[in-house]
Amino acid sequence: MSKFCSTWGIDGTKQVVVYDDSHGGMAARLWFMLRWLGHENVAVLNGGWKAWMNANLPTNSDIPEAQNTNFMQIPTATYCVLQKIFKRISK
């Protein structure tokens, strides 16, 4: 996932807004995954793209050229907690 984010130009300085067309379930999963990986500037678009369009908010069809970045790694504290969880589960 970190490599995917890096190729799309996502790093700790970028605000990421996620949305989907399935009542927010997939967007929430992506939000969780990015937060788990250590990205703090991530939000779910309330109501999704449809709500944004219905509110006549600004849009454009420009496709930005992504520059490869170095996406941050999983924070050590999170990794340590996961190790403890997996260790307990395996007992």
Q: Tell me, yes or no, if the pTM score tops 0.75.
A: no
Neighbours of 67 (CB within 10 A): 10
pLDDT in tens, 3-47: 777 777 788 788 999 998 888 899 999 999 888 888 888 999 999
Residue 38: burial class (beta carbons within 10 Å; 0-12, 13-18, 19+)? middle
Fold of 2-89: Oxidized Rhodanese; domain 1 (3.40.250)
What does the alpha-carbon distance between residue 33 and residue 35 come to, in Å, rounded to a whole number? 5
